[in-house]
Amino acid sequence: MTLTPEQQAEIDALRSQTQQTLRATVPGMEAHLYKAYEVLDHGFIRVIDYMGDDSAICQAARVSYGKGTKSVQNDEGLIRYLMRHWHSTPFEMCEIKLHVKLPVFVARQWIRHRTANVNEYSARYSILDREFYIPAPEHINAQSVVNNQGRGGVLEGEEAARVLEILKADSNRAYDHYEQMISQEGQDGLARELARMNLPANVYTQWYWKVDLHNLFHFLRLRADAHAQYEIRVYADAICKVVADWVPAAYGAFEDYRLGGATLSGKALDCVRRMLKGEEVTQENSGMSKGEWREFEGVLNDPA
């Protein structure tokens, strides 16, 4: 359970107040507003606000006065064209604001995406809650043996139990000590900005995160990818569901051209052309390194 009754009451209050607006609205997105969608064991994403819709993308691309829409089909075709040809500015005309609760080690990956606006809960100013990410047993994996930057099979038996035990015990001890250090009972109490340094990276933080659709798609392409760390991928997946309801045409184009697409190098394209002519192409005569060839084969064989 990630929300206190007071927090839930605040959310409910906001959801009960409908306003009139002349702005573009998306019914599917209104249904998401303010709700907390659970991610991991204590995290969530909540849509706080949004600006624009599929039509706004087209309107900006056409620099038109009104809705800029002749028909939905036209709009979808234009959006697919814009996505295919890497036009970024029309997608920047849509904006979304999320409230996200997430472990610090996920926040540290997330913040590398610099083209967004962020307000994070301040542990200099406020006291963090006793909430730590403890992975579910099926997400405690070994180090990958093929990829230095990834995880392999699920740990089992005693090893898994030991890991869980360590994570739980260390988190709780760290939090106990955090509370002891900042306590002002019978002592001065350590400054919060110092005490926080004792908390491990699985402690939860939260922030408001606002980003335009172009940069959000970039984030989702990297973080909803199979190579992304599981703990950030589940946030990306949750956001994907919301975006699909917000801008269905743009999301459809994103799925086809980005999530489901692949970039082939000049060498790889040359191999494809040779293969289509019936030539036998192997790594040895491809001009590619072994790593590139393995990835190339992956693209050709796997329905990504």
Long-range contacts of 16-23 (CB under 8 A, 24+ apart): 23/51
89 is in an annotated binding site: yes
Minimum distance from CB of 131 to its own copies (Å)? 13
Residue among 130, 229, 237, 274 that touches its own copies (CB under 8 A): 229
Q: State which of positions 14-73 bind its own copies (CB under 8 A).
A: 14-15, 17-25, 30, 33-34, 48-52, 56, 59-61, 63-67
Using an 8 Å Cβ cutoff, are 223 and 232 in contact? yes
Is position 244 an interface residue for its own copies (rule: CB under 8 A)? no
Using an 8 Å Cβ cutoff, are 84 and 75 in contact? no
Distance CA 41, CA 64 (A): 46
Please identify, using beta-carbon distances, which residue of 140 and 242 lies nearer to its own copies.
Answer: 140
Q: Which two tokens stand for residue 285?
A: 């005569």
Site mask for its own copies (CB under 8 A), range 178-207, x = bound:
--xxx-x--xxxxxxxx-xxxxxxx---xx
| Pairing verdict, β 117-120 and 43-51 | unpaired
The catalytically annotated residue of 46, 223, 233, 258 is 223
Please identify, using beta-carbon distances, which residue of 191 and 241 lies nearer to its own copies.
Answer: 191
Is 233 annotated as catalytic? no
Return the biggest CA–CA distance within the chain.
Answer: 83
Distance CA 90, CA 88 (A): 6
Q: How many CA atoms lie within 13 A of 79 on its CB side?
A: 31
Minimum distance from CB of 87 to its own copies (Å)? 9
Q: State which of positions 142-181 bind its own copies (CB under 8 A).
A: 142-144, 148-153, 155, 159, 162-163, 166-167, 170, 173-174, 177, 180-181
Positions marked active-site: 223
